[in-house]
Chains A and B, each alone.
Chain A
């Protein structure tokens, strides 16, 4: 595997389900990110982890719960979601969490989430 991978690629869940999204980066980066892209809003940053410590949490509802067990893996645990949470959930990684001037965020393919 190369780059940033995400599983599953598609997820349909009911409002009472609990599911988890997984992201893995194979780039040796130290920072990982969760973004949400929906039809009604621009790409939104949800969480940032740098060196496994959460450094950004943009007022995301508690039904979205991130977990970063190491610098290569990032999870997003989902529970009691609403239909308006349907979106493309994108994971990204970068070398230095914004501290390096030239660094770029590399995105995974995304998980297409549909909440019924």
Chain B
């Protein structure tokens, strides 16, 4: 059974700092997703990563994929308060499996 693990589960950052969220998955997959969820809101798609070495960037967020290591990272550069949210990685096709989520809090 496909398992998806994220760490850390909770992350408190100072504004302006950099940090990385990790996502490991247990079986081969041809795609990996990152989503963002604000408190009380639904999930918003951030990135779809499809191949080994894929890197995508949007603003202060950069996601990468290493299919051989079954690892994806979400790197946050110079964090700002607006990035405070829960970030999920997900693996699979129609039967997507989600990680537990990383609750990010960015403090002034």
Contact = CB atoms under 8 A, between A and B. Distances in A.
Interface of A: 31, 33, 42-45, 48, 50, 55-56, 58, 90, 92, 94, 97-99, 101-102, 104-110
Contact of B95 (A42, A56, A101, A108): A56
Interface of B: 4, 30-31, 33, 35, 41-45, 48, 50, 88, 90, 92-101
6 contacts: A33-B94, A90-B42, A90-B43, A92-B43, A98-B92, A107-B35
B94 A102 contact: no
B42 A110 contact: yes
B41 A109 contact: yes
Contact of B48 (A104, A106, A109): A104
A4 B13 CA distance: 33
A98 B88 CA distance: 18
Contacts, number: 54
Nearest to A31: B94
A102 B50 contact: yes
A48 B95 contact: yes
Nearest to A112: B40
A98 B95 contact: yes
Classify the interface of chain B: helix, strand, loop or mixed: loop
Nearest to A6: B42
A61 to B, nearest CB: 19
B59 to A, nearest CB: 18
Contacts of A105: 33, 45, 96
A92 B94 CA distance: 11
A42 B101 contact: yes
Contact of A102 (B44, B48, B100): B48
B96 A108 contact: no
Given A99-B93, A101-B30, A104-B48, A42 B42 contact: no
A38 to B, nearest CB: 12
Contact of A45 (B30, B50, B97, B101): B97
